[in-house]
Structure 1
Amino acid sequence: MNWSKKSFLFTLLTTAIITLSSTHVLSQNLKKIERQAIGDFEKGNFVDARDQFKTLLKSEWNVNSTSSYLASCYLELDEPLKSYEILSQVTEPDELITYLRILSCYYLEFFEEAENLINDFPDSTGFDIEDLRSRVARAKESYSAGDGILVQNFGENINSENLEYSAVMYNDFNKLLFTSRKEESSVTDVDGLAFETIYSTEIDSSDNWKKAIPLNIEAEKKRSHDATVQVYQSGNKMISYKDGQLYSSTLKNGVWSKDEDFIIHEGKGSDTHCFITPDEKTIFFASDYQSDGAHLDLFVSQKEVGGGWTEPEPLSMFNTEYDEDSPFLASDSTFYFSSRGHNSIGGFDVFKSTYDHEKNTWGPPENMGYPINTVAEDIYYTTEGKLAYLSSTRLEGYGSLDLYRVYHFNKVKVEGRLMDDNKQPISDALIDVKYDSTTLKSYTDADGNYEIFVPINKKMHITFVKDSLNLFEGDYIANIFFKDKNENEFNFFIDYMSPDPEIIKGNEDKRTVKHINVDIKNDYEENPIIASVPRSAEESWSDSVNYVAKTKKIADLQSREISYVENKEGDIDILSSHLKLREATVQMKSKEKPVEEPTTTTENLSSLQPDNLPDGYTVQILAMPIKRKPEESFFDLLGSAEVNNLNGQDGLKRFFTGLYDSFEEAMYAMRILRKTGYSDAFVRRMSKYAEL
């Protein structure tokens, strides 16, 4: 498959760079470096081009042109933050710099800033600004709608700062093959990246992924591409990709046989990916053999009696003028593929379609939406039940393409017993679970039993309270694994019989995060232990399956006061499963008022002087005429965060928060502030305020 972007956004971009760049006669050496760098860029070797343009920029050679090329290299290498930083330092931006900054904002998900730049962008025939405008609008709409699905990175034992993609799971989800272009290889392809290599790993006895190793022991020296495509026939047959063609091999005595040609058609071209149905009678594949290498299309072919394949038929309802790749047919007959066309919000997006048996045709492709699709590249989607695998260049990854697990649910039921160290049940104890800005609560029944839905793969702080005493508290993460069983029981043993209440109160361990390993059988239709809950629906959704104190009478419930806690965003978090018993008349009023955090107001802002500014970066959130005063409510979302202000010589007062040593730390804080509601927030070096 030889992964590369080849994005149509950058096809136009390359033309624009060549057209708008100029050459200054300065140093013959720098001029030579520039020629070599541009040559590497045009060949698609963005790694070597990046390094050479960095050298040119340090020498301040043709700053706008060099910055444009360097930023473009970073975008092609899936590093939009570095692109944004380079472009932010250009003092006199031209159209190309501005266009690149729009792209950087788009890939960083700074949609408001991207829209502002688009609105101010002059009319130009050199840039398809309207296409970019529509993509930003689609992305904003998709991001606001997605919820109830969890996308989780496979972790550092699988992913690296290089490219990892095309996950193939087999042996009951316990073994994994995937493709990587790791830098540990001693040879590179013409694009400056290592050749594709298949890696293998499996889950150990502790339910963790082992460090991945190459399937080919000579992987570090080879000069060919080997990539995962599909494992089938109970894990005994494999389809792989090598240098533009598909190959098959068989597992015998634990060893994969030598690759054999897997020929589907007679035409010349590159076949990048395929999916063979379990009965091995139908194959879906992606190829450029009918477009003379211009773009990838999807095809289908049937197995003939003699073992060959029928003439491939193009899947015209899915194919566009752009690339379509990574076909996959799920066990429920839903067809998945990735496309850069249709209504994609990024590069490759994942689409799905179902077959209409009455019309004998596939239905229109449906974009899977956020969080499966992002403004990045999202491809190689495979699924079984409510578990799926995905390759993506999204922001939170370790490097470029990373492998992700997709859970089509975001909460899991954990049940168990709360007992003292003599294994005697502790009844009517409060179980308080906190994560992010959410609080969930439940109670134990007369036998110490509890059950509660908790978020998966998210750090929680769990506290057990009995008679106003903290019995125990600690940090936990619910890990999800898929095995042929349902294992969601987790018992807590508390030193509750201690005669000293202070010892009970101090019975805590915050030093380590303990793991609640939940094994889930993949038969979700009858499985009550998972739930997909959009945040917008949490107000009316119970955090527990039911109120487990079954031995209590309704009268007891009527006298129990339950409380709601309002989080920082103003949403009401459900605190207990009493909502399941709506027929009981439960008096809902607060037992005690929550402790209010100190908030930032215009009375406690810190004023700074331009001649006494600290080093580092900050995030500016507001600028206004000095004589005006901001509304008190403007700072409500900051909580207790410190806000500084400074009067500029231009008549403006600027408000900013935080002090960070690095640009990356400040950018991370800026993203949080923008998502909180400060859409105009941006990063600025503190020393810059002395010039204003």
Structure 2
Amino acid sequence: MKNTTQNILFAIVFTVSFISFGQDRKEQKAEDKFEDYAFMDAISSYEDLVQKGYTSEEIYKNLGNANYNNAKYDAASQWYEKLINHDGATVEPEYLYRYAQSLKSLEKYDESDDWMQKFEDAKANDYRVTKFNENMDYLKKIKESSGRYTIENLKINSKVSDFAPSFYKNLLVFSTARDTGITSKNIHQWNEKSFLNLYSADISDSSGVMHPQRFSKKLNTKTHESSTTFSKDGDIVFFTRNNSENGGFERDAEGISRLKLYRAVLRDDEWTDITELPFNSDDYSIAHPALSPDGTKLYFASDMPGTLGASDIFMVKINNDGTYGKPVNLGDKINTEARENFPFVTQTNVLYFSSDGHPGLGGLDVFATKVEDLESAYVANVGEPVNSEQDDFSFIIDENTGKGFFASNREGGMGSDDIYGFLETQPLQLTCNTAIQGIVKDEKTGNPLPGTKLWMTNSNGATIAETVSEADGTFTMDGGCEKGKYKVLAVKEDYEDGETPFELATSETPEVTVLLKPIRKAAAVGTDLTKVLNLKPIYFDLNKAVIREDAKIELNKVLEYMNTYPEVKIAIGSHTDSRGRDSYNLSLSDKRAKSTVAYLISKGINSSRITGQGYGESKLVNDCGNGVKCSKAEHELNRRSEFIVVE
């Protein structure tokens, strides 16, 4: 697994605090290296401790994070697995996500999806959960977007890191670590690579990209320089540099040299007037600039206040007098709680960026969206071969020719990051046309209901389509492609009027199941109210039995039913799948069942009418017992709550 120099920019660093009494000096030394961002030294120190028999939650966390931050996903997955299985470990949700991402980079997609489910159980409101649920078939969508590029590894790549290409006249400007220093001052402790400088190479239709050389003595210093973008006339450049003074690092109170954006002007073939942008800060980083086609907007990545995750894409307006507006976060359609960086905007205002928060193949993937309406943005994965299971980033393209460049740390390259050239042979689909299809069923029996009148309404209540279900209960309605919340209304004789909400959030054809309730009669003994009332799964936070707000919505349906039929008595059963220890599953499910009972009693249900018991994994509905390999969907069938009518 190769190291990715770009991870120096906007790495997530977990603050480490050791509370153990009489902490070993060697462990403290490794911790100091971790907190000093000397991650390669920290990896060696921590691994040495493990070999000598030292084990602790903090060691596993820091080894996982140090490898993750250096794109060593195979090693990261091993240490995160040890952390999760460590007795008594407190595993924050972020580690579940990172473990899932690491598994994805190893192409273990089913395992990754299982851990994303655990991440959802622990942090249901995370934007990454939302995007995962909206794209459960993400591998299928990525496959549909794949095969549109031919790519080649450029001859200008070195044995170290080369990335962040940008167009400048007939040149390709890029960032590289090839200027290896002869002293430790020229080596960055994070990844033991030399600091980054800006280089350029000639772009030729016949010979490709050739003759790499330093781009500018004025722009290159003894700190990192990377990620350039140029004005249309070529006289202005915006670029990334570490916070510096007189060519050396300037650090904040935590010892971190933040990244900043700078602007320079070309005069007499020299880059002069190098100035910081006014919205830089010593307290956070700003990097990876990208100009809009008309030069009136500057896009960039930052972890400034208001950022959703490790780094977000922002935009700032450039006024006619050269001043700047206030940076604006592009919002949660683009940004997640993970990493979004390396924006690039095409001539037709298509925004390309890299992310490990949107569903992808592993590591950072390249995504695209139109920037005209970010409130309803459709974000598309550009697919293979640009994207891989490793980090793929800093994508640029000339839409007139279909030619472009990106960087990747995939296997088979010359260095830790390589620049690849590509030709786009087919444009990416950034609009979606979809239809709504579904089926109407009797909620109690599951039988299809033909001849049901159906309407689809938007969030404003306006009817946008209508139809009648077929003989097998199925229906289809043209729904356009405007993302948002919709409802299917259904009317049939001898049934209560139905209303089924759904959200249009992807280009996939939504499949809507409409369940209609027969004119109400008390359910027979033995009936599971979960089916009668069409209850959604009752979820609990990871390792907890406290009733969540979303679960209360479903339990209130049971409450309403018991109030409607005061003679009914029910028994609540809580079940788990077979993953985890049997005794733990039994205890936790019992607590959850009793917590559910207590909630209904607190809402006025007499205690004589309701009982609860947890069964753990003792009543599986399939053969997915201990040691049996099952899919996520098969395991999900066993994670259920039942509300059985007993009288």
Q: If the length of structure 1 is used for normalisation, what is the TM-score? A: 0.46
The structure, 1 or 2, with the larger RCO (C-alpha pairs under 8 Å, 6+ apart) is: 2
